[in-house]
Chains A and B, each alone.
Chain A
């Protein structure tokens, strides 16, 4: 029953993606896309480390924003996790994590401007929402027995620390360290809206065709993420966390009156601000919905569904790269496995936005770069996790080899976990799809960006809220599907 149900659901998704494909807009419009690609490859092969005097700064700031943002997010998330049984806390967390870091940054830019706080909060707030949920789950899973043995009158905090937290601590630490990798990606991407991180320099280098610098920046970034587990040690963490706030740079001073102005004027819908009352508000909202929100939602959904299926196909095709059932365990097999790992690290370390940005330069504007970017990045992540999963399977000595081994032995066994992972990423893919709009692909982010460019934050806020609701909706749908297919739950913690 369960197998045929997953088959039905899979085929349903593929059919839906085919329909979406017919409505989508896909083409390569540049005249000579491969020449440009060649130049980028040259840049990667012959990176120009000397020409980039800002290289050190880009890396330093990227690290600093990631550490401070993730650190604050973890602290906030932990406090929220303790209150997670309240519906309002759960709702609050669901909303803040449904809004992408870049949208948060665009919001804070309006009143904190180019102050480091903008970048720090843009990471800390959505991460707090995610941390709260996962920490709460981890704490729930801890054994309640020790708590019952406490002497009467033990205060709440000691009780928590010595019973539940003591058990959950290793999981909390490993999850937090994992989120740091996500934080580095988020931090890099914040450069695209003006924070002094990697994305800032990467965009400039790209715009000027300085591919040597692009190569140098990308290689450093991959190295940073690839070696994460060697330089992020629990014992070194406090040191990093203490140093990071001092390395954020100064930016421009905050003018606090801007904050109240933003909340009392800027985001109040124009008709209300101008005293037109409800009569003015309804046509204003209607106009916004019909001309911007609906086309934005349509394109976002279209792109998400196509990208989701392509991500799945790519993940199922690529996981053998790191699965020792296919690479072999010894001798050259190890080498093959390592190369596979490098391919997947590069794929998952490159943020979607960055990939889409590069592909847009290569192929010109259409949905194609966005779909390819989403599928490459997310496919890389899922392939990595499915590959790890497949390594836990023991095959019979006389199991078939090659394509038969894939089709009859391994793939069926990892298909359930694979679907679970894919559905976990559904919401993430949609959130990213929306944000890719700021590069000019007409998803919701495009209209948010337009509203911001027109200095109309009232419209931007409505559109951001709609995006958040859409994400929450998909999240709920995905959870239902997982329950329907009885897919395992605990791999949740791997996705970012």
Chain B
């Protein structure tokens, strides 16, 4: 056994006192699972709850493999024989309760009592998502996190983002749909001192008001009909991290009041609870709506707008980013060619002219989709106009110099949050939907053949068919 380190007088004073062990573990940014000798869970801390989605109360007595669901647990558990003499470190993945696969680094270590007898195990778990994302992208120029750009507008944004990341104030991100608000929010988190903490995202427009309140703030057992157990809200899960509220413009007025109260006193009151929870959460909000206009129309609280608008980042639409279209075209070509193992080497000059002349109403997301389509259709050599969606050429002729739908960067308050399926005419999703339908008609409804024609995997085809609401018998 290694000798105990000598303690200073001050350390002696602290360490000889009774310490609240569970509280100490809950303060750690790493997930911690404590198990007995049979590897049944005894305790898990808040960080592990955020990674796996389990609750400490629910996992007690459950075999660790059901709690962690890690690949290593199930295929090569280091403590399979119940013995472990020293720490084991491994990289693996887990599937959490939100059905997401998360890369993690785990360290399993034995726990001994004062008499050197093994009494159980402790496993620490580190979420590797930020590290992986950072590692993959760090060596590339003209980018900040996952946001790519070299235009003066983006350079200005990149200069200010690190400063804002270091601050703990609320941030409001604005920009048209497809400009990369979600990516920027995640980058802000990864570059902040909260990077080790959780990044929790919630779409304020995706849930009805009552559900959203419970999802955000949690509820206690018996708070309403059907509340059969306590539920921790996203604020609780984001403790020591960042809560990203996307589509904040869709947040119902009553919840705006509750959010404002939180921003003021930093205490979360779950539905039906009398006691609050002091959550250390940074709030980042995003919207494609014009909040100032919504305030004038009485649809968004002015006081909340002022609280969120402490730091504001506006992502310009792609058509205003000089030189970025070319950069992004090359970037996504490399990305998709590498990921799909296609020998696509570049763009033929005619295809490039078409791509540079198009003004991308769907912004970076649309550009990315166009390149993905082209790489899948082209397969090898250079991308020519026939590998591009047909609407690119048509659109150029159809659009008048000032397109009424986009003459202002302000998005109408009543505009839908995202282009919903089935999409509107003249957009990339519409073209893609049409291409899928044509392939299905050609293949007489046979998805396997349709997928082959499109140069996609069958799973890609069904995912896209599902997205566009296409069903075949």
Binding between chains A and B: no
